Structure 1
Amino acid sequence: MSTNNLLVELFVEELPPKALKKLGEAFASTLAEALIGADLAAADARVTAYATPRRLAAHITNVLSVAPERAVSTRLMPVSVGLDAAGQATPALRKKLASLGLEAADVSQLRRAHDGKVEALFHDSRAPGATLADGLQKALDTAIAALPIPKVMAYQLHAHCAQPGWTTVHFVRPAHGLVALHGRDVVPVSALGLTAGRTTHGHRFEAAADPLDIADADAYAATLKEQGAVIASYEERCQEIVRQIRSKANALKCRLEVEPAHLTDGAQEAALLENPLVQEVTALVEWPNVLPGQFEETFLEVPQECLILTMKANQKYFPLLDDAGRLTNRFLIVANIRPDDERAVIEGNERVVRPRLADAKFFFDQDRKKTLESRIPELDKVVYHNKLGTQGERSLRVAALAKAIAGQLGGALAQPAERAASLAKADLLTGMVGEFPELQGIMGRYYALHDGLAPEIADAIEDHYKPRFAGDELPRGQVGTIVALADKLETLVGLFGIGQMPTGDKDPFALRRHALGVIRMLIEKDLPLEVSSIIEMAREVHNDEAIQRAAHKAAAGGDAFTQRKPFDPATSQQVLDFIYERLAGVLREQGYSAQEVDAVLSRRPQHLAGVAARLAAVRAFSALPEAAALAAANKRVSNILKKAGPSVTDDANVDPALLRESAEQALAAALAEARPKADAAFEQGDYTASLQALAALRAPVDAFFADVMVNADDPALKANRLALLAALHAAMNRVADLSRLQSA
């Protein structure tokens, strides 16, 4: 058997660019895994994936022409069935051996072994290894079937293909060529109606020759690059594009809009390589050539977000910024050809982008002819959800909720928060947002400033969508924060109220993202808001008959009105639980243990900004020598109080006259001394000191459980001891439920 490197290529029509990278990786990895499974390649074989708009290929090192022989063990039947009393083969065994083409003369060649249930007979043999032609055929079929194809096409094969006549083939794009080389030798395999050869095609216009003969597997990439004007490696092509756009930007004394300015050089390089636009352009070209273009400066009067989105989304251009971060009238084109005279390519792209920018300018000019205020009534004609009314009704709810939240933070914020919330959705009706939905909020800010509204209101209109994704920035001001909270809480309560909560990995309304946004704002903005309270406010707003009636009258133009079924308090509880679940996940990702998180969140802290301090206090408490004993004692106290029932409350009075045993007197005295210290520290937000003040209770608590019978025969003594334990429980669990730390 011989060992050589293997090259397999599928030559196809243009593949979907957003799926190209995954298709290339999946094709190569599945092919290699199948060959490794057939013992035709070693587990440490190097696999190189190639992917261009017109090909998927894989290069695999040290592939065998024939796999080594392999041991085969065939279970025949139990010994008791296969052998008679004399140890000779029974008719059943002879029949079984005959079916396998084996002789039954010498049963001594059979192996006896226990199969997990009984002693059985096994036949051991050596099977020849698979040939590369057979193994690669199966691997190729598997790799093609396993491709993550976004949408399959059906097309017909002509009579000159491997399969005669008209045959329907299903694949991501029509395939026109198959290469399979083991070293210099063609491997006789077929796929998609094609028979493997050594011929492929290079660039449509730039190739020095067509077709291209690949001399051997190792010559593939070099032949395509030198003779075919194709960079076959996706990663190499991506790096070449990044190198060229950076070089051109530096030559023009500009910086790339897609390059994060706040990152270090190494991080910038990595971020740029992973940029969605860079990735998409890499999947669109085989022979990248970056060229500079420009447009008329008059278009810079349009908000730069519009121009940037137009160039990137529609034309796949790279906008360029000046040192201050302002958009310039220069951009970069990634062409797929390298002509002697590049001017024609540049001018052609400049002609193409001009109408796009003109459209953006037209929308911007037209939109400013109407104020945001004048667009509000039109929201009553836009359905938000068939069970939650129109966008107009939703705006009324968000405005009312924003006003209520602002009232808790400061009366002066109520008017601007309500105003911003009422205008926040108006830009959905503008031409610019209709063309580019990604600009919702952003355009609202520009139009609000044009209408003469205060900057804090304009900023809030843009910021009420923030944070849009993990790691996104938060609203920049108090008004924006209030409106963003109101918008997300209105969405959460509304959709939970109609039963549209997330299930498994399905979250069509992005409610997990909304919940995380609420959590981040409450914590990172250090807002003194009780999470239960603001959720309940949102429920009340949804149940407000006046809002529903006003929205109905505006939308229907009549007074006939039927109030929707109100959301009950269970809706608020569901949303609250959902937020705590999301918070628990965030905290675990930050490195806190499940026990620490459970101990803190089981107390349902209302001010989420203080959760981090509680966790730090719990961690510091856990390091104390008294922690384990107190956690165990606290769990015992919890169980006793649970059995005692709801009649025993944390504020039950302890009668000193009924403290008969010295151990319960000592515990009461120690608690009377430690509790004021712990409570004072708790009120000051010093949760660490609050928990550490309780460490002094370890000895009296241990003595109490050793010497005192809680369930005394005297009902008065029993009730007094339960009251003492309830007071102890209340003192120990203000910061966190310490019993949850017992297994930490």
Structure 2
Amino acid sequence: LAKKNGQLANRFGVVVNIITEDGGKAIVEGNERVLRARLSDAKFFWEQDCEHRLDSRLNKLEERVFQNELGTVRDKVDRIVKCSAFIADYVPGAGKTEVARAALLCKADLSTGMVGEFPDLQGTMGRYYALHDKEQDSVAEAIADHYSPQGPSDVCPTAPVSVVTALADKLDSLVGFFAIDAKPTGSKDPYAMRRAALGVIRLILENKLRLPLMPAFKRFLGAYRNMGHVDSSNLAESLMDFFADRLKSHLRDRGVRHDHVSAVFSLGGEDDLVRLLAHVGSLAKFLRSDDGANLLVAYRRSANIVLIEEKKDGTTYDGEVVVEDLGAVEAGALLESIESADILVQQALDKEDFAAAIVALATLRKPVDIFFDKVTVNTNIPSQRLARLRLLTRIVSVMGRVADFSKIEGSKTA
């Protein structure tokens, strides 16, 4: 039990499902005896452990196996220390000195008598021992917090040093287990990789960190390779796919449609989760509007026509549109609108202004509607048909800069 200020209270609770003649007095006394003995043990371990500083226990971590193929806990600590400096560059307020110290000591309490007797206190006791050793408060808090968050409802660290240490610990485990092909399969997840990935996602999104995941994955993979443990190609890409699935699951619980996330992820090259979430938000807002709904219909129609004709003709229609061959004022007007929108979309994306990119796409709705109302694509004039099919391909291409609209549910091409 804890007081309102978070400090431990000298009280405990016991739940029983029987009615006793003495009002539970004997049960309380029995539990008090058990608790008194456990507290006596804890006092003994505390006094014994305090005779040695945390940093003097690091060599003991060499005796603890992290995973047979991935080395010892000390190996893991060394990787966390090495890679946490990279992560710290993306966490405002995370001092490199404090980060390095927290990374070095984050697992040291595993070698204490207290944690050996009470394993659930790992991290928590590390904090108390660090404070006893006069380590900085930020370092002590990071030792306690670096296992968090351990689930969707667990409190997510926000202190800069804690955030860096928590990210480094989880990323190290994810990269390592993926590298030895111990990734989750179906309902099996023996190393809690899904929980670790969710932890990384929450740490990044809730702290609004612009941490690029691909370089982070490669940093840890490099640390593993330097130790001679792994040598895996395409690991970063495999991890990114795993994170995409975890992100969809996490955002679905927040009311975000999974197909919207897929539409942005499918563009490729996106490993900034904060930017991706902003992109998804703008896309979702657009698709809820009349312009978005109608333009999505136009996208589907354009993509379907092009796909059918390419399959039938055994060729592609992604070449340059010859204006003179379009043969209709409405087609020429649409081409001008597409070229203008293309420039505006690219400028907006370069500035990470996804709302502006969406606004640029919305300008296509009217000329696209007019084109389909007034113009026949498959005419009997080969050059005209070619130009108009290429025009439809341009619609798909320009819209495809903002999102892969084929991933939106109901927009599958024929």
TM range (shorter): 0.7 to 0.9
Aligned residues: 401
For 1:528 and 1:646, the matched residues in 2 are separated by 42
Letter in 1 for 2:98: P
The residue correspondences of 1:510-525 to structure 2 (distance < 5 A) are 510-525=192-207
- Tell me by how many angstroms 1:473 deviates: 0.7
Please give the alpha-carbon distance, in whole angstroms, between the structure 1 residues aligned to 2:315 and 2:58: 52
CA contact (8 A) 1:711 1:718 kept: no
Which of 328, 339, 357 is the equivalent residue of 1:690?
357
In the alignment, which of 172, 175, 180 is matched to residue 493 of structure 1?
175
> 1:710–1:718: 8 Å Cα contact kept in structure 2?
no
Counterpart of 2:69 in structure 1 is 387
Change (3 A) 1:464 1:721: same
Matched ranges for 1:477-492 at <5 A: 477-492=159-174
Cα displacement string for residues 651-686 of structure 1 (whole angstroms, at most 9, x for unaligned residues): x9x688777644453233213433444445545555
Do residues 331 (structure 1) and 12 (structure 2) align?
A: yes
Match of 1:619, SS state, is helix
CA deviation string 1:62-83 (max 9, x = no partner): xxxxxxxxxxxxxxxxxxxxxx
| 1:582 aligned residue | 246
Please say if 1:625 is aligned against 2:290.
yes
Does the CA contact (< 8 Å) of 2:326 and 2:387 recur in 1?
A: no
Q: 1:733 aligns to what SS in structure 2?
A: helix
After superposition, the CA RMSD in angstroms is: 3.7
1:538 alignment counterpart: 220
Residue 373 of structure 1 pairs with residue 37 of structure 2: no
Aligned residue for 1:669? 336
Deviation at 1:450, TM superposition (A): 1.8
Measured in 1, the distance between the counterparts of 2:21 and 2:316 equals 89
Cα 1:342/1:485, change in 2 over 3 Å: closer
Report deviation, 1:409.
4.3
Q: Determine the C-alpha separation between the residues in 2 that align with 1:660 and 1:711.
A: 13
1:506-554 residue CA offsets vs partner (Å, 9 max, x unmatched) = 11111110111111111111111223332233222222x2xx1xxxxxx
Q: Aligned equivalents of 1:630 and 1:694: distance in 2? A: 8
- The residue type paired with residue 740 of structure 1 is K
Determine the C-alpha separation between the residues in 1 that align with 2:217 and 2:302: 32
**Compared CA separation, residues 518 and 734, structure 1 to 2 (3 A):** farther
2:184 corresponds to which residue?
502
User: Which consecutive unaligned segments of at least 5 residues does structure 1 have?
Assistant: 1-256, 258-320, 549-562
C-alpha distance in 1 between matches for 2:316 and 2:96 = 43
How has the CA–CA distance of structure 1 residues 473 and 712 changed in structure 2, closer, same or farther, with 3 Å as cutoff?
A: farther
Q: Partners in 1 of 2:381 and 2:53 — Cα distance? A: 77
Q: TM-score, normalised by structure 1?
A: 0.48
The equivalences for 1:553-702 within 5 A come to 563-569=228-234, 571-604=235-268, 605-635=270-300, 640=306, 661=327, 662-682=329-349, 685-702=352-369
Please report how far the alpha carbon of residue 448 of structure 1 lies from its aligned counterpart in structure 2 after TM superposition. 1.6
Residue type at the aligned position of 1:527: L
Cα distance, 1:721 vs structure 2: 7.6
User: Superposed, which structure 2 residues align to 1:252-271 within 5 Å?
Assistant: 257=1
Change (3 A) 1:446 1:341: closer
**1:55-134 to 2 correspondence within 5 Å?**
none
Matched to 1:596, the amino acid is: H
Flag the structure with higher helix content: 2
Question: In the TM superposition, what whole-angstrom CA distance separates every residue of 1:360-397 from its partner, at most 9, and x where no partner exists?
Answer: 11111211211121111221221111111111111111
Quick one: percent identity of the two aligned structures?
Answer: 38
Whole-Å Cα distance in 2 between the matches of residues 409 and 359 of structure 1?
40
Q: Summarize the Cα distance change of 1:625–1:411 in structure 2 as closer, same or farther, 3 Å threshold.
A: closer
Residue 249 of structure 2 contacts residue 258 of structure 2 at CA under 8 Å; is this kept in 1?
no
Deviation at 1:741, TM superposition (A): 3.1
> Does the 8 Å CA contact 1:542/1:567 hold for their aligned counterparts?
no
SS in 2 for 1:621: helix
Higher strand share: 1
Structure exhibiting the larger radius of gyration computed from Cα positions: 1
* Aligned mates of 1:646, 1:539 — CA distance in 2: 42
**Deviation (angstroms), 1:602:** 2.8
Asked whether the equivalents of residues 536 and 572 of structure 1 are also in contact (C-alpha less than 8 Å), the reply is yes
Name 2:152's counterpart in structure 1. 470
- Could you tell me which amino acid in structure 2 is paired with residue 431 of structure 1? G
Measured after TM superposition, the shift of residue 726 of structure 1 is 6.4
2:56 maps to a residue whose letter is S
Aligned partners of 1:333, 1:629: CA distance in 2, in Å?
Answer: 62
CA distance in 2, matches of 1:377, 1:646: 65
Q: 2:45 aligns with which of 363, 366, 372?
A: 363
Q: Is the 8 A contact 1:584 1:601 kept in 2?
A: no
Structure 1 residue identity aligned to 2:86: A
**Following the alignment from structure 1 to structure 2, what is the Cα–Cα distance between the partners of residues 542 and 646?**
46
The 8 Å contact of residues 85 and 100 in structure 2, kept in 1 or not, is answered as: yes
Q: Secondary structure at the match of 1:327?
A: coil
Structure 1's 333 and 384: CA in aligned 2 closer, same or farther, altered over 3 A? closer
Match of 2:86 in 1: 404
- What is residue 732 of structure 1 aligned with on the other side? 399
Secondary structure of the residue aligned to 1:331 is coil
Identify the residue that residue 410 of structure 2 maps to in structure 1. Answer: 743
Task: Decide whether the 8 Å contact of 1:464 with 1:484 is kept in 2.
Answer: yes
1:326 is matched by which residue type in structure 2?
A: Q
CA–CA separation in structure 2 for the residues paired with 1:342 and 1:396:
52
Following the alignment from structure 1 to structure 2, what is the Cα–Cα distance between the partners of residues 341 and 655? 90
Question: Post-superposition shift, 1:727?
Answer: 5.7
